[in-house]
Structure 1
């Protein structure tokens, strides 16, 4: 396998990345020799089977886990206040704060006054379509609305890189599609670099510039599928269906032993 490269100026670069830990005298290798570059403003989706190390890769990038080997380079804007923000699978809102104060939470050490922080939070809530719910409590929101608040909170700090760890997996299909539209609109307006982890192939097809497929045991980059059609994308179009088949086939190949890669066996049933 060769290292994957992205066109234009890179903002994120993993070089020979490895992560391992010792447990009960056994060395567990989670990531090994992973090379990946991400271009500024790119929308990258990471797919692979459960436990392959997708979420770990995001945690290494944002500094929540330390790599055992290799390097991680981040080329953020000069003077950027917040290089990265992370949106989790669940919204993780503070139940004792109103919606607007949850969004403003990440700005508390920004040097802005309370009024300025709340004004910024209000702008972000308007961007995700929740401007009229600013004074509600988290328990008064639906699951999809809470996740929109989490996205607004991440965007409020103006990150160069937005990391999203399966942010829509717990939502129903209609809410998920609606949030895809909001996320794409926000990305088109503010142009952060986005790395999103998902198990949903349809989500990858709808959102990504590139889908990178990881191979397990240990986790490393295996294949890249480029999605060049304009967005929004019709999931029933021939281009979307072809992209979905390409990702599914790559996922199937990622689960075969390395020695079987050269064999012309039919793809398995990953899905």
Structure 2
């Protein structure tokens, strides 16, 4: 099943003229310059680019963990639907490493983000158990993080992010530290979960094949300072086949674009 992308609706994420400059020790480093990006409801957008180009920095700005030097970032979060704890949060971030709290059980890790939002204990448990079921880990709710495999820890991290029901799910190379078998399995799980929830996803990766397999649209971040160098819409329906020649053609197009941009630096 393919998630529905609402292209006529207001963007969930709207970025206009975004620039970011770091100042350290009297020197200035411009990381991002005049970046524009819109991510629509239900859309899965992947961001690719060379290591160090600013992909993760962009997610930090969207999460309000870093302040832009110029431009704006707006997130259109759906209104409060009457749940305890107020309206839906704008975003949630899944990191490359799971960052689970070792002194909390799997279920308590999943519900961690709900506690400071004033969600009742009963509702936290209900939503935590529902998210563990969604990622296929219901039977591990009472375990501790050190008892999990790497893939299981990332599933718990994903469940924790989904539990707060964010307007947009941000993912920063979440599968890059895993072996290829586990990584491919989690890619398929993510597509299943995205289809089931209709969640809007902004996914950073250095893996071009991963990007074209997962995303509706792939954005190329390139340059020093970085901006959006190209966008490719992956117009093939889900579910996809990894060996599909159409996906291979999209991946080849992206590699050519990245190679050309690198040679221009």
Give the aligned CA root-mean-square deviation in angstroms.
1.3
Q: Paired residue for 1:98? A: 105
- Give the gaps of 5 or more residues in structure 1: 1-5, 259-271
Q: Paired residue for 1:129? A: 136
Q: How far does residue 251 in structure 1 lie from its aligned partner after superposition?
A: 1.2
Asked whether the equivalents of residues 213 and 254 of structure 1 are also in contact (C-alpha less than 8 Å), the reply is: no
Equivalent runs, 1:1-271 vs 2, <5 Å: 7-9=7-9, 10-79=11-80, 80-257=87-264
Q: How far does residue 256 in structure 1 lie from its aligned partner after superposition?
A: 2.5
**Deviation sequence 1:13-39 (CA, Å, 0-9, x none):** 111100002222221100001111111
Q: How far does residue 195 in structure 1 lie from its aligned partner after superposition?
A: 0.3
Q: Paired residue for 1:266? A: none
Asked whether the equivalents of residues 52 and 219 of structure 1 are also in contact (C-alpha less than 8 Å), the reply is: yes
Cα distance in 2 for partners of 1:168, 1:64 equals: 22
Q: How far does residue 111 in structure 1 lie from its aligned partner after superposition?
A: 3.0
Per the normalisation by structure 2, the TM-score is 0.92
Cα distance in 1 for partners of 2:154, 2:115 equals: 21
Asked whether the equivalents of residues 45 and 215 of structure 2 are also in contact (C-alpha less than 8 Å), the reply is: yes
- Give the gaps of 5 or more residues in structure 2: 1-5, 81-86
The aligned length equals 253
**Deviation sequence 1:49-107 (CA, Å, 0-9, x none):** 01111001110011000000011121111223211100000000000001000001011
After TM superposition, the runs of 4+ consecutive aligned structure 1 residues lying more than 6 A away are none
Asked whether the equivalents of residues 77 and 88 of structure 2 are also in contact (C-alpha less than 8 Å), the reply is: no
Asked whether the equivalents of residues 76 and 167 of structure 2 are also in contact (C-alpha less than 8 Å), the reply is: no
Asked whether the equivalents of residues 51 and 216 of structure 1 are also in contact (C-alpha less than 8 Å), the reply is: no
